[in-house]
Structure 1
Amino acid sequence: MKIEGSFNYFELSEEYRHIQQGIHRLAQEKIKPRATEIDEEAQYPFDILKILSAHGYIGANMPVQYGGAGLDMLSFCIIVEEISRVCASSSQVAVVQELGSLPIMIGGSESLKRRYLPDLASGKKIAAFALTEPNAGSDVKSLKTRAELDGDFYILNGQKMFISNGGVADVYSVFAQTEKGLSVFVVDSNTRGFEVGKLEKKMGIKGSPTAQLFFENCRIPAENLIGEEGEGWLIAMKTFDKSRPTVAAQALGIAQGAYDVALEYVKEREQFGQSISSFQGIQFMLADMATQIEAARGLVYRAASKVNELTSTGKNPELTRASSMAKMFASDTAMKVTTDAVQLLGGYGFIHEYRVERMMRDAKITQIYEGTNQIQRQIIARTILGGR
């Protein structure tokens, strides 16, 4: 079965096609009808979390021994792509769950994994990734939040901002400076001294809450340290290598969804006594959109495959470049394709009912979070130039 509207020149095995067909059907039937309402309500869609959890998509790429489905990164990217195709906010339910859980999967002790991953894999608990601060976004090493060792606890003080799932998460992977450098801790939402600040009012992905976080003398058990002191930078970079392909898949899905709407519209819309799809100017726009989407899909699936190689061999020097290329190109494509989709629909494109204006608003953030595209270009250049 070929998913309608998707070219899929990237050859998928029968196993991947089966995953694609399953999530496509679920997204079209259960998530698509909720997309506009989720955007308008600007509330975390707990019903979508329940649906995705029931079908095993929340813990899709978490290890089987901790309650996950044990699927690889390409499978997870396909899942994210199909959800994003109808609702970017709903895809955030899966994407941020993965992002918040990755530090535990990458560097957590066996005890931490067994304490937290089963509830995260089942969707019983929600995860978040807390790194960005008012004066430290792209410049991770400038973080000011600090954790001081005090016996069997760390005393955590500081502030975070722009944290996805802020306020709804039960478990936060929090980065802080320690005596030996940047470190990362698991912080439970019920920790005394932890407080959620204001929720941001945003242009897009409105169903994904974004909040400020405050930590005032929070006592964090020393056993909640992920890895060793000073390993936070390495864990963060390894996390981004694995999470950026999923953001790229999210952008890819948004682009494909906007293209779907635009293609259907131009086939049906008539002006001057003929379908506007017969006009060369329209055809050229469609050709560019389709080509950009397929190029992005190739980069996204390639980056996901590089993560899979990392899983099997333990290392892959090409992963960082592949992840950054996929994230950069797919998100730029999403912005271009959604903008063109709005243009193709004319005045209708500016109206909520036709969905593409929502997709355009949602697409913008993919060029910003998980490292801005300017940072991605810098990373790519450094890998080309041997790290200089």
Structure 2
Amino acid sequence: MSVSNTVLNEGIMQIPSWWTCPPGYEELQAKAHALGKSELLERAAISDQESLYPRESISKIAEAGFGAVTLPKEYGGLGAGLTGFAVLSESFAQYCASSTMCWVMHTAAVQTLFSAGTEEQRQRFIPDVLRGKIGGLAFSEPATGSHFWNVVSEAPRLGNGYSLNADKSFVTSAGEADWYVVATTYPESTESDKLMFLLVENGQEGITQFPFSAMGLRGNSSGPMKFRDVYVPAENRLGSEGGMNYHNDNTIDPLFLLGTAACWTGIAQGALNAAINGAKKKVHADTGKSVASYQVIRHELAKAQIMVDSARSMLYRTAEGLDKAIANGTPLGECLFPIWQLKTHAADIVIQVTNQALQVSGGRGYLTGQVEKYLRDGRAGALMGPTNEILREWIGNTLIDVPWFE
């Protein structure tokens, strides 16, 4: 490769686009960044400071055509696959992590509806999704903590439907989504597992949501929900009466882990971008030098960017691999190992990089503001189930050829 192809603008090195975006997704990424700058960023601070659900930002995402990004085009979706989903999540998160996480959970819920639901359910719910309706996942329960795939709640038969009684601990978009995929069990199931998914519409009698106050992601409304004697008609059951671990492994886990890993990567890049911008602009009057002119600062920026790019490279390679698996008919449940590694790494590096961004930003970074918000938002990653500790155990078990899940 000649120097003329890599060095432009009076010696400034240009970063190749293929390093920051999968080939073929450049236009999608550009649209996401434009939306982030014009719509998401300006509301992010208000959402954080007031613990305000970012409904307007999520509506703008839907208006831009990203309300059903993974669905086939014949259903009105974007048909961008998991790679497009990862590009959008990583890009949005550089501007507003709360909006991104709500959108990631929404996308996972919509894909679950599409994958596990009937054609009638698709036709009933998807058109409204395309018009901006929001879906959510109600999985984790206080009794089992971050083992969100193990639920103790039950929904026995009641007439031509089910009576749902469940306590849910962290439900992104709690009280704000228009409908939820609620994970529960069917006590009389003849399936190998009793896990059952019910579509519950917001506002039904017996549903209570509680306030969410947290260190970061304060706009998520990820509070507890209680479902007390909520009647769910049989036509709102997704799939069979039990046996839904298949969709947990092949739809929900891949999208949830991929989307959240993209979010942590985007938060890390957003924090670093803010630190770089501040270091270039801040000039010390006594020396006449910018903060960025100090070698120690540049080295910290370099180390942080290398960490972000390592996570981004894993992100896009994993997403492209999952899309190939789908095209080849390989169940995504057979591809979980790289997604576990990806989520663990992204959730680790966002802690490191946001700390570096804060250090580079100095006292200004410690004040309530953009960098400080990125640090608080990113800290959720390692705690969000499956926690990094659980994922490392699964990875380790796989490496020594023992069953990863018991």
Same fold at TM > 0.5: yes
The 5 Å alignment of 1:269-348 reads 269-271=282-284, 273=287, 274-315=289-330, 316=332, 319-348=335-364
Q: Is the contact between residue 70 and residue 111 of structure 2 (CA under 8 Å) also seen in structure 1?
A: no
Match for residue 253 of structure 2? 240
Is 2:85 aligned against 1:72? no
Q: Is the contact between residue 204 and residue 365 of structure 1 (CA under 8 Å) also seen in structure 2?
A: yes
Match for residue 119 of structure 1? 128
Q: Is the contact between residue 68 and residue 122 of structure 1 (CA under 8 Å) also seen in structure 2?
A: no
Query: Letter of the aligned partner of 2:307 in structure 1?
Result: Q
Query: Letter of the aligned partner of 1:247 in structure 2?
Result: T
Is 2:132 aligned against 1:132? no
Cα 1:235–1:289, aligned 2, differ >3 Å: closer, same or farther? same
Is 2:52 aligned against 1:39? no
Q: Is the contact between residue 8 and residue 294 of structure 1 (CA under 8 Å) also seen in structure 2?
A: no
1:156 is paired with a residue of what secondary structure? strand
Structure 1 residue runs without a partner (length 5+): none
Q: Is the contact between residue 173 and residue 184 of structure 1 (CA under 8 Å) also seen in structure 2?
A: yes
Determine the C-alpha separation between the residues in 2 that align with 1:13 and 1:293.
15
Alpha-carbon deviation of 1:89? 1.4
Alpha-carbon deviation of 1:190? 3.0
Which of the residues 255, 263, 266 maps onto 2:276? 263
Is 2:179 aligned against 1:167? no
1:210 is paired with a residue of what secondary structure? coil
Is 2:63 aligned against 1:50? no
Deviation string, structure 1 residues 262-293 (Cα, Å, up to 9, x no partner): 11222333456233334333232112101101
Q: Is the contact between residue 148 and residue 385 of structure 2 (CA under 8 Å) also seen in structure 1?
A: no
Q: Is the contact between residue 93 and residue 208 of structure 1 (CA under 8 Å) also seen in structure 2?
A: yes
Q: Is the contact between residue 22 and residue 316 of structure 2 (CA under 8 Å) also seen in structure 1?
A: no
Q: Is the contact between residue 242 and residue 307 of structure 1 (CA under 8 Å) also seen in structure 2?
A: no
The 5 Å alignment of 1:221-232 reads 221-232=233-244
Q: Is the contact between residue 135 and residue 142 of structure 1 (CA under 8 Å) also seen in structure 2?
A: no
Alpha-carbon deviation of 1:244? 0.9
Structure number with the higher strand fraction is 1
Q: Is the contact between residue 46 and residue 52 of structure 2 (CA under 8 Å) also seen in structure 1?
A: no
Q: Is the contact between residue 244 and residue 370 of structure 1 (CA under 8 Å) also seen in structure 2?
A: no
Alpha-carbon deviation of 1:78? 1.0
Alpha-carbon deviation of 1:254? 0.5
2:280 is paired with a residue of what secondary structure? helix
Match for residue 205 of structure 1? 217
Determine the C-alpha separation between the residues in 2 that align with 1:6 and 1:201.
40
Query: Letter of the aligned partner of 2:228 in structure 1?
Result: E
Match for residue 28 of structure 2? 19
2:19 is paired with a residue of what secondary structure? coil
Is 2:360 aligned against 1:352? no
Determine the C-alpha separation between the residues in 1 that align with 2:296 and 2:119.
58
Deviation string, structure 1 residues 109-131 (Cα, Å, up to 9, x no partner): 222222222222331x2111011
Cα 1:61–1:314, aligned 2, differ >3 Å: closer, same or farther? same
1:164 is paired with a residue of what secondary structure? coil
Determine the C-alpha separation between the residues in 2 that align with 1:289 and 1:147.
48
Query: Letter of the aligned partner of 2:313 in structure 1?
Result: G
Determine the C-alpha separation between the residues in 2 that align with 1:220 and 1:6.
53
Query: Letter of the aligned partner of 1:192 in structure 2?
Result: E
Which of the residues 233, 256, 267 maps onto 1:254? 267
Q: Is the contact between residue 62 and residue 70 of structure 1 (CA under 8 Å) also seen in structure 2?
A: yes
Determine the C-alpha separation between the residues in 2 that align with 1:44 and 1:5.
38
Query: Letter of the aligned partner of 1:342 in structure 2?
Result: L
Which of the residues 368, 380, 383 maps onto 2:383? 368
The 5 Å alignment of 1:79-98 reads 79-98=88-107
Cα 1:322–1:347, aligned 2, differ >3 Å: closer, same or farther? same
Determine the C-alpha separation between the residues in 2 that align with 1:231 and 1:303.
27
Cα 1:174–1:387, aligned 2, differ >3 Å: closer, same or farther? farther
2:174 is paired with a residue of what secondary structure? coil
Alpha-carbon deviation of 1:8? 5.1
2:375 is paired with a residue of what secondary structure? helix
Which stretch shows the higher mean deviation, 334-343 or 108-117?
108-117
Determine the C-alpha separation between the residues in 1 that align with 2:326 and 2:20.
21
Question: Percent same amino acid among aligned pairs?
Answer: 28
Alpha-carbon deviation of 1:340? 0.9
Match for residue 199 of structure 2? 186
Query: Letter of the aligned partner of 1:285 in structure 2?
Result: E
Which stretch shows the higher mean deviation, 358-367 or 85-94?
85-94
Determine the C-alpha separation between the residues in 2 that align with 1:67 and 1:52.
15
Q: Number of aligned residue pairs: give it.
A: 382
Cα 1:234–1:138, aligned 2, differ >3 Å: closer, same or farther? farther
Q: Is the contact between residue 60 and residue 69 of structure 1 (CA under 8 Å) also seen in structure 2?
A: yes
1:15 is paired with a residue of what secondary structure? coil
TM-score (norm 2): 0.88
Alpha-carbon deviation of 1:317? 6.3
Match for residue 10 of structure 2? none
Deviation string, structure 1 residues 191-224 (Cα, Å, up to 9, x no partner): 222222x112011111111122112222211222
Which of the residues 143, 154, 162 maps onto 2:162? 154
Alpha-carbon deviation of 1:347? 0.6
Is 2:118 aligned against 1:105? no
